[in-house]
Amino acid sequence: MNAEIFLQVDNYISDLLAKEDKALTDTIQSLDKEGLPQHSVSANQGKFLQVMMIACNAKKVLELGTLGGYSTIWLARALPDNGKVITIEVDKHHGEVAQKNIDNAGLSSKVDLRVGKAMDILPEIIKKNEEPFDMIFIDADKPPYTEYFNYALQLSRPGTLIICDNVIREGKILDKNSADEKVQGVQRLNKMLSENKNVTATILQTVGAKEYDGIAIAVVNRI
């Protein structure tokens, strides 16, 4: 087994089940054109998010970390007509590129893109006492993942799905002495998930078009 077979199988799956259209391929191309990193989820991971949304009948979704809007487009496309994605992005330029891609995909009415630090915007959303979210996708900076998760819990109801990307980091999470703050951030989150009685959680390893990594999935039991 090697990376090549994982890539070929990922392409096989996406050809079958997660075909990208022009709005999605344009979004990926816009990252290179605009100098953004190629850190979007893969097509199959985008489809995975849609499957999770449909499983929990999601009408209201929160995303932390928009980048160029690739995952946002997958999320928004799985919403019913009256559904909404709020997506938070700290970088102004990323936000501008994402907004163009979301507009280009015809999804402007379904996506509320907020530019600012997640750590500032989350308490603002909590203060407004909005209806809880049905699904929350955490894909922003890794060191405060535990804090983001705790905010996400405050914006949840029993049954809300909270999904956190990049929590295995090529297996570096096994290194208890890692000095990498991204690794430390997700180690802290993974440990918290193992102890938190308010959620039922697991982690799936991911291979394929992206680096070897993992996605944590938690369902909220109680608030």
Contact residues toward ligand SAM (CB under 6 A) are 39-41, 64-65, 67, 70-71, 88-91, 94, 117-118, 139-141
Q: How far is the CB of 175 from ligand SAM (least distance, A)?
A: 21
Q: Rounded distance, CA 187 to CA 142, Å?
A: 10
Q: How far is the CB of 151 from ligand SAM (least distance, A)?
A: 11
Q: How far is the CB of 55 from ligand SAM (least distance, A)?
A: 20
> Is the CB of residue 128 less than 8 Å from the CB of residue 104?
no
Going by their DSSP bridges, the two strands 60-64 and 135-138 should be labelled as parallel
**Residue number of the CB atom closest to ligand SAM:** 65
Which one, 26 or 91, has the nearer CB to ligand SAM? Answer: 91
Which one, 60 or 142, has the nearer CB to ligand SAM? Answer: 142
Q: Rounded distance, CA 223 to CA 155, Å?
A: 9
Query: Residue 2: how many CB atoms within 10 A of its CB?
Result: 6
Q: Is the dihedral of CA 101, 105, 106, 111 positive or negative?
A: negative
Q: How far is the CB of 13 from ligand SAM (least distance, A)?
A: 17
Output phi, psi for 113, to 5 deg.
-95, 120
Going by their DSSP bridges, the two strands 60-64 and 84-89 should be labelled as parallel
Which one, 173 or 198, has the nearer CB to ligand SAM? Answer: 173
Q: Rounded distance, CA 65 to CA 70, Å?
A: 11
- Give CA separation, 133 vs 45, 77, 145, in Å: 20, 17, 18
Q: Rounded distance, CA 148 to CA 69, Å?
A: 20
Q: How far is the CB of 117 from ligand SAM (least distance, A)?
A: 4
Which one, 62 or 223, has the nearer CB to ligand SAM? Answer: 62
Q: Rounded distance, CA 212 to CA 84, Å?
A: 31
- Please tell me what DSSP assigns to residue 135: E
Q: How far is the CB of 197 from ligand SAM (least distance, A)?
A: 28
Which one, 108 or 195, has the nearer CB to ligand SAM? Answer: 108
Which one, 134 or 139, has the nearer CB to ligand SAM? Answer: 139
Q: How far is the CB of 94 from ligand SAM (least distance, A)?
A: 4
